[in-house]
C-alpha cells in the first residue's frame, strides 16, 4: 500500500503533465491561427477577382453593370444617362483588398473622359496602389472603347509614415466624339497594383468582336481601330 506522501507526489506529477499538455495544445492552436492570419495578409494585397475569376473588381452603379450577382444571374441593365453634355457613372466605393477601398467617378464628355479617384487604405502595414480603367458599351451591349489604365497615388498602411493612407487623383483621357455619341453604359474596373495586361486584352477583344459587325457606324470603327496596347 502506497504511503500518503507517494500518492501526493504521484498526483502532483499528473497535474504537471496535464498542464504541459494544455500548454502544448494551446500553442498549436495559436500557431495555426497565426499561420492562417499570415496567409490572409499575404493575399490581401493581391488583385481581388470577380465571380469570373479572371477579371478585376467591377464597380457598378445601379443597373450599370456587366458582372453577376452572388447567384450567378446576370443583372439587367437600362440606359442610365440623363439628357445633358456629360455622361456620369458614380458607383459605390469598391473593396479591392484587406481594408482597402477605391471610390471612382467617371465623367464622359465630347472628346474626353475624366476619372476621379479617392483611395483609402486602413491596413496597418500593407499599402494600396489604385488602378482603374473604363469600358464604354453601346446600346446593343457591344464594348466599343477602353480607356487607358490610370495609376493613382500609393496609399501607405496606417503604421507607415512615409505617405498618406488616403489619396485623391484626377485623370483625363482623350475619347473620340463617336464613342461619346454611341456610349450607353460605362463599366469601371478597379485593381490593386496590377499592370495594364487586362486592359490590353480588352483592346484585342474589342477589335476582334467588332471587326465584322456591319451595323457599327464608320466613325466608331475608326475610333476602335485607333485603340493601342498600353506599355
Output the DSSP codes for the chain: ---HHHHHHHHHHHHHHHHHHHHHHHHHHHHHHHHHHHHHHHHHTSPPB-TTSSSBEEE-BTTB--SB-TTSPBPP----PPSSS-EEE-PPPEEEETTEEEEEEEEEETTEEEEEEEEEE--SS--B-EEEEEEEE-TTS-EEEEPPPEEPPPBPPTT-TTS-SEEEEEEEEE--HHHHHH--EEEEEEEES--THHHHHHHHHHHHHHTT-TTS-HHHHHHHHT-----
The pTM of the full predicted model, rounded to 2 decimals, is 0.67
- Per-residue pLDDT of the chain (231 residues), as tens digits, is 545 555 555 555 555 555 555 544 555 545 555 444 444 433 333 232 222 233 344 444 333 333 333 333 333 444 456 556 889 988 889 999 999 999 999 999 999 999 999 999 999 999 999 999 999 999 999 999 999 999 999 999 999 999 999 999 999 999 999 999 999 999 999 999 989 999 999 999 999 999 889 899 999 999 999 999 999
Amino acid at each position: 500500500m502506497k504511503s500518503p506522501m507517494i500518492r501526493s507526489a504521484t498526483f502532483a506529477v499528473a497535474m504537471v503533465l496535464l498542464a504541459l499538455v494544455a500548454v502544448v495544445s494551446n500553442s498549436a492552436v495559436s500557431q495555426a491561427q497565426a499561420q492562417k492570419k499570415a496567409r490572409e495578409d499575404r493575399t490581401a494585397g493581391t488583385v481581388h477577382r470577380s465571380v469570373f475569376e479572371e477579371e478585376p473588381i467591377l464597380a457598378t452603379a445601379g443597373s450599370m453593370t456587366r458582372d453577376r450577382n452572388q447567384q450567378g444571374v446576370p443583372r439587367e441593365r437600362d440606359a442610365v444617362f440623363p439628357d445633358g453634355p456629360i455622361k456620369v457613372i458614380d458607383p459605390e466605393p469598391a473593396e479591392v483588398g484587406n481594408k482597402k477601398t477605391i471610390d471612382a467617378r467617371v465623367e464622359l464628355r465630347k472628346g474626353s473622359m475624366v476619372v476621379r479617384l479617392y483611395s483609402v487604405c486602413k491596413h496597418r502595414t500593407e499599402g494600396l496602389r489604385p488602378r482603374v480603367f473604363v469600358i464604354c458599351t453601346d446600346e446593343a451591349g457591344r464594348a466599343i472603347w477602353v480607356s487607358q489604365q490610370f495609376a493613382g497615388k500609393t496609399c501607405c498602411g496606417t503604421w507607415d509614415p512615409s505617405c498618406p493612407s488616403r489619396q485623391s487623383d484626377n485623370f483625363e483621357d482623350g475619347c473620340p466624339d463617336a464613342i461619346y455619341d454611341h456610349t450607353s453604359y460605362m463599366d469601371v474596373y478597379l485593381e490593386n497594383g496590377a499592370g495594364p495586361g487586362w486592359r490590353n486584352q480588352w483592346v484585342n477583344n474589342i477589335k476582334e468582336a467588332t471587326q465584322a459587325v456591319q451595323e457599327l457606324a464608320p466613325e466608331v470603327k475608326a475610333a476602335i481601330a485607333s485603340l493601342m496596347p498600353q506599355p
